[in-house]
Amino acid sequence: MPASSCARHVVFAVAPDLVLLDACGPVEAFWRAELAMRARRAQATPISADPCAYRVTLASVAGGVLPTFAGMPVVTERLDALDTATIDTLIVPGVPIDESTPLQPELVAWIAAAAPRARRVASVCTGAFYLAAAGLLDGRRATTHWRNAAQLARRFPRVNVDPEPIFVRDERDGRVVWTSAGVTAGIDLALALIEEDCGHAAAMHAARRLVVFMKRPGGQAQFSEALEAQSAAGGAFDTLHGWMAANLHTELSVERLAEEARMSPRTFARRYVEAVGRTPARTVAAMRVEAAAHALAQSRQSVKRIAADCGFGTEQNLRRAFERRYGVRPLDYRARFSAA
């Protein structure tokens, strides 16, 4: 990726069977930010005080053509060619990992040696296993793909694994380590890194060019409540769940939901619990809290307005539900995760 001479050097250290989107999603985000910075420099109206953007290197132990999990090969540089290179950000994307999957020892060793030279280190998805094997996650809070979180905790008990967030930023002892959930969460991670470096405008420009639906805060759960309910139901209530998500501001009683599902209330309540594993009321409550969290992070609407739009009725009802789910007050959540 060509860029200005002062551009931040982002190195992706990759293993065979690379999950392609773990790398190409963030690479594309950095490139979009670089294009935004170039355009602003050409107009003499820089997005931030620091006009530097990014240049990216994809590197593997052997270099050359690397097989990926999707079957599409990528061309990489040799990692040892970067032994004396300046590295701003070191990112390790994921590979398919199960209980018996060995980690590439040469890659682990290179990461351990190179990390102290980097301003920050990050992983996408199961790349966290490589950071952990290199000792970079000891005593730190970290995340990975929800399917691999328990395995990461078993394999590296010194890591404080949190399976919930989309990404985690852990800063201590003067070192910053980022970890993210799987696949598309790597784009969210990259946008957060861009915002930290170049400002909110550059990150939002990249997000718009990528046609990302929303710039998600790191504390958002990996699974949306609507998706989790749809997954559990096996498609049985997909249409209803979509309708519920669009009508949270209305009364969503069992009777109203049963009417929408064209069942009697008694039959609907029984079949819903059988399919989803929880009552309709619990799904509605979870969707409302999640929708409120999105609104707090993505808008400047008042808490009163959000409470009404999400079906809580009053600010007090929203505050109680929010504190039960997230352990913080709505305005504290906004202060931490706001992208508006």
| Spatial distance between the Cα atoms of 162 and 293, rounded to a whole number of angstroms | 19
CB of 18 closer than 8 Å to CB of 74: yes
Per-position DSSP letters for 56-73, written without gaps between them: EEEEESS-EEE-BTTS--
Q: How far apart are CA 237 and CA 256, in angstroms?
A: 14
53 contacts 198 by C-beta, under 8 angstroms = yes
Q: Is 125 a catalytic residue?
A: yes
List Cβ neighbours of 30 (8 Å cut-off, separation of 6 or more).
1, 10, 53, 54, 56, 190, 194, 206
Tell me if 226 sits within 8 A of 294, measured CB to CB. no
| C-alpha dist (Å) from residue 5 to 55, 84, 165, 263 | 9, 17, 35, 65
Phi and psi torsions of 311, nearest 5°: 90, 15
* 170: helix, strand or coil: strand
Catalytic residue chosen out of the listed positions 52, 125, 198, 310? 125
Active site residues: 125
